[in-house]
Every structure is written in C-alpha cells, then in structure tokens.
Copies of this chain bind each other. A is one copy, B any other.
Amino acid sequence: MATTSETARSLFPALEKFLGKRFSTAQAVRDHHGHDESWHAPCAPEAVCYPETTEEVVDIVRLCADHHTPIIPFGGGTSLEGHLLAVQGGISLDLTRMNKVLQINAEDMDARVQAGVTRKQLNHSLRDTGLFFPVDPGADATLGGMAATRASGTNAVRYGTMRENVLSLAVVLADGRVIRTSSRARKSSAGYDLTRLFVGSEGTLGVITEVTVKLYGQPEAIAAGVVSFADIASAVDAVILTIQSGIPVARIELLDELQLDAINRYSHLDLPVKPTLFLEFHGSKAGVEEQSQEFGAIAADHGGSDFLWKTGREEREQMWKARHDAYWSVLALRPGAKGFVTDVCVPVSRLAECIADTRKDLDGSSIIAPLVGHVGDGNFHLVYLINPDDKAELAEAQRLHQRLVERALAMDGTCTGEHGVGVGKRDYMVAEHGEAVETMRAIKTALDPLGIMNPGKILPDQA
C-alpha cells in the first residue's frame, strides 16, 4: 500500500504547477511538518501542500490517488500521539490557510468554519455575539484537527467533547468526492451517523475541510477557585461525589503535588504543594452560588481546604493559563528532557483506584511523572519525563505506560480519553476493542481502498 518516494515525486510537477509557492519540498518545511508535540520520533513528509479551498484539496487528493501517494492532514501540529508523522511517506496537507470563519448563525447557536480555523480564532470572531465555543484542549488547535482527533479538554465535563459538539463536516473522500455529513438540524434520524464516524478518524477516512460546531451562550456568571486536599484519594473522592450529585461543574481539574509544584515554579504561583482541584462554575448568579456551596460541602467532608477564589476575569484566566501550561511546566522540571505524554479514561467509580495503583507504580520507579486530569470525566494524563536517547529510561517509561493502559482497560476504560491513537496507541486497539478492530478495518478499506489516507495510524498492522 505504501508509496515509494519515486511515485510520490512523480506527482510533484503537477502539484507545483497548480499550487505554485503553496507547494514545498524544502527540508525546513518538511521537518516542520514531520513532528508534533509528542515524544514520538519525527518523520517528515516528502512535500507539503497549502490548499486554500475544498476544491484545491479535491485536486490534491485526486492527484495523490492517481499516484497511490499518502496524504497526511496537518492542522496546528499540536497532536500528542504522532498523528501527523509521515510513517509511509507522502504529502503533508497543511490546512492552516483554510482559516475562514464561513458562517455564524447566532440564532441557531452554530458556526461553520474552514478546517484551519483555530478555537481561539473562532472565539475571537464570536466576541460580539454573546456566544462561545467551549471545547478547549489547551493548545490553540485547529477545529479540523480537533474534530479529527475527537479532542476535548477541561470543560468537556459540562459541554462535551468534539463528539457532542460537531454538528456537521465537509469531507474530501479518498477518491476526491466531497460529502457533507449532515444537515444543521440539531437532531436527525436520517441514516448512518457519518458526522460521528469522521470525528475521531484522524485523517484515515478522508480530509475534513469544513466543520460546523455548536455554540453556547456566555454564562451570566462564572466562579473559579482552587481547593487543596491532604491526599490524592480525598481529592478524587470529592470529584466522584460531585459528579454523582449532579452538580454541573464546568471544569474540575486534578493536579497532584508534583504537578502543582511544577506550575508554581513555571507560572510564578504560590499555591500549597498538595493534591489540588481547579474548579469553575457556570450559570446564573444564584446557580453559581448554589453549585459552589454544594461543592464546598463535599470538599469539606473530604478534608479540603477553604476555597481560594479567583475573582475577576484576569485572575481566572491566569489560573487556567497555568493549568494549560502544565505540560511546559513539567518539561521545565528537567531541562533537555522530553515528555512522554499519555492519557487514559476509566469509569468514574474506578478512578481513585486507578490513580492510586498508578501512583504506586511510579513510587517504585526512577521516572518522574506528574499527574493532571479532567477527572470529572474519569480522564487523566501522565507526563513521563525522560531522555528519549537513554534506552533504559525509554524502556522504563514504556513499561509504566503499558501497565497504565492495561490497568485502565481492565477497569472497562479506554487507552485514550482524548489524545487519540495516532501511532502511539495502535498496539492497544485489539486489547481494547477485540473483534471490533476488524469492523473498523472493513470501514477503512471500504472508504480508502488504496490506503492513502494517513496510513499507519489508528489501525494496527495486520497479523
């Protein structure tokens, strides 16, 4: 299935002819498109195209299909499991010039954008409407990339993930046909749910060129604050009870001591170095008050500190910036090291046990790995800080990682709650899905018979 460099190169003249300077084989450009923010070894594409319209994507895909050449969609380059590595060669399709907000339907609370629009850009466009787009993976990712990886983030506990927030997509299929996956109706029973099929398909079934997303009214009131706990089990138990009580928290984020210490240093904060929850409540003034009080009672029952309220927009934004910079703060703990980032997600009743067992594993290891998580969803992250050139360290991180994933799967969880499979989690797909992997493969083969759409991702190699 994989292309040879020779066949790929044979289509370069045609691409250059119609894209001009928006086609490049420069080494620096290729290198830039050959790595994401993960620990996975870079792997550059053979060339990079910068289309500006769906029609140009069609032309590129048709040419690549004619030459059996892989196509790798590229958005913000912020993925975490090697989704964009050119492991079988081919063309990187950089969609960042497709950055137009096409339509804001304020009355229907939805917006249609080109795939290269970032979430911050969309929210900037919405600033006068009283609406916002909530999904927030931390990085200023593109909406196309977020749809392709089924991204989520800190406020998925309240607003859902890209699974719940994409209304419709425009997709260029492997043979160059263009489909729209759905109307703008909020619900439909009209046939197979192609929207959800392409959300999370990581470029392996087609190229997403437009995304229609749901929007939400800006909450009338927002309250945010920090509560610390004596130990991580108490913090997690407080989260579990909060979710089970139906308190509609907008964000409820756990940071362990290591992570708290790292962000204190990196973001110049002086929070107590203890297992800590960052919280945010959205609603009416009375509603936010009520939620805060209900959560406060639960926290107190679990030995939580008093709320350290972050009043005012600026203080609140500073707090969430610190949370979003968690990854960089961890890297700063050991200059020169790389972060082997991973995430798992388990049913919330198993979360305390999963985290406790994971910490036990780490206590018996030389590797440092701060923990941070969207614990309201049962989802948490570890960053194993390693020197990837040190084989013993890499092997130790891989051992710990494997135990983590197996633990999550044994608890009826998933090998990745929000980062996606890419190249990093392919080996766990059979353990998680069993026979269903062959159903996924049948769909892949049906929609991409030549195997040119981001090959080597999601599906494991066949035995």
- Please list the residues of chain A having a beta carbon within 8 angstroms of any beta carbon in chain B: 105, 107-110, 149-152, 156, 161, 163-164, 173, 177-194, 196-197, 199-201, 205, 216-217, 240, 243-246, 284, 286-287, 290, 345-349, 377-379, 408-409, 412-421, 425, 428-429, 432-440, 442-447, 458-459
Whether B184 lies near A412 (C-beta < 8 A) is yes
Contact A189 B419 (CB under 8 A): yes
**What are 11 contact pairs spanning A and B, CB under 8 A?**
A149-B189, A161-B187, A173-B439, A177-B435, A185-B408, A189-B200, A191-B459, A196-B197, A286-B290, A439-B447, A443-B446
- Structural contact, A190 and B429, CB atoms closer than 8 A: yes
B442→A447 contact, CB < 8 A? yes
Instruction: Known A190-B429, A193-B196; judge A107-B240 contact (CB<8 A).
Output: yes
B347 and A184 within 8 A (CB): yes
Interfacial chain B residues near A156, Cβ < 8 Å: 187
Contact of A192 among B152, B349, B417, B440 (CB under 8 A): B440
Tell me whether B436 and A179 are in contact (CB under 8 A). yes
Neighbouring B residues of A432 by C-beta, 8 Å: 183, 190-191
A286-B156 Cα distance, complex, nearest whole Å: 25
How many copies of this chain does the complex contain?
2
Residues of B close to A178: CB separation below 8 A: 435
Cβ of A151: which chain B residues have Cβ within 8 Å of it? 189
Nearest 8 Cβ contacts at the A-B interface: A196-B196, A446-B446, A107-B349, A188-B414, A179-B436, A217-B246, A185-B345, A108-B347
Q: Please give me the residue from chain B that is nearest to A196 by CB atom.
A: B196
CA–CA, A267 to B377, complex, Å?
44
Residues in B whose Cβ lies below 8 Å from that of A191: 200, 421, 429, 432-433, 437, 440, 458-459
Set of chain B residues within 8 Å of A412, measured between Cβ atoms: 183-185
Q: Is B190's CB under 8 angstroms from A415's CB?
A: yes
A378 touches B185 (CB 8 A): yes
Could you say which residues of chain B place their CB within 8 Å of the CB of A217? 244-246
Q: Which of B205, B287, B379 contacts A187 (CB 8 A)?
A: B379
Question: Cβ of A413: which chain B residues have Cβ within 8 Å of it?
Answer: 183-185
User: Which residues of chain B come closer than 8 Å to A243, judged between CB atoms?
Assistant: 109
A285 → B minimal CB distance (Å): 10
Q: Which of B193, B199, B244, B446 contacts A199 (CB 8 A)?
A: B193
- Closest residue of chain B to A197 (Cβ to Cβ) is B197
Instruction: Determine if B417 and A108 form an interchain contact, defined as CB atoms under 8 angstroms apart.
Output: no
Task: Report yes or no: B286 in contact with A345, Cβ–Cβ below 8 A.
Answer: no
Q: Which of A196, A245, A425, A435 has the most CB of B within 10 A?
A: A196
Closest to A432 in B: B190
Q: Looking across the interface, which residue of chain B has its beta carbon closest to that of A204? A: B192
Distance to closest chain B CB from A291 (angstroms): 9
Residue of A180, A216, A412 with most partner-chain B CB within 10 A: A412
- Contact call B107/A186, Cβ cutoff below 8 A: no
Out of B179, B189, B439, name the residue touching A418 (CB < 8 Å).
Answer: B189
Find chain B residues with CB under 8 A from A216 CB.
246
